[in-house]
Amino acid sequence: MTPHIVVIGGVNDVNGRLNDVEVLDMEGDGSGSCDRLPDYPVEMFGATGAFLPGEGVIKVCGGYGGGLRFLDLCYDYDPVVGGWLEAEPMIGRRGFSSSSVIGEEWFVTGGDVS
């Protein structure tokens, strides 16, 4: 499997919160090529995400956005569908958290809720 880095959302001085999704392909010498995926459904920053090989999707949850608050929203990017699908939200709102994939389970831990 070719290593990739996926960047979702962010903040800039012109537009504020972003919903851009960019994928850096690290094949070969590591200089990589950058491609775009469809925009994330929410403008935000500080979300966490992971690729789940067993499901073949990128999962993203939380962050800070929408009315300047932490989010409990979760979305899956399904390459077969070619877009983001709404997933079950987290139990509570959080941003700037961490996540890990262990086996076929995805864990979201820590972060800020205030």
41: left (phi over 0), alpha (psi -120 to 50) or beta: alpha
- Please state the φ and ψ torsions of residue 47, each to the nearest 5 degrees: -85, 170
pTM metric for this prediction: 0.86
Which two structure tokens, joined as six digits, stand for 16? 């504020």
77 within 8 A of 52, measured Cβ to Cβ: no
- Sequential pLDDT tens for the chain (114 residues): 567 788 888 888 887 888 899 888 777 666 667 889 999 999 999 999 998 888 889 999 999 987 778 999 999 999 999 999 999 999 999 999 999 999 888 999 999 987
Q: What is the number of other CB atoms lying within 10 angstroms of the CB of residue 99? A: 18
- Domains of the chain with CATH codes: 4-109 (2.120.10.80)
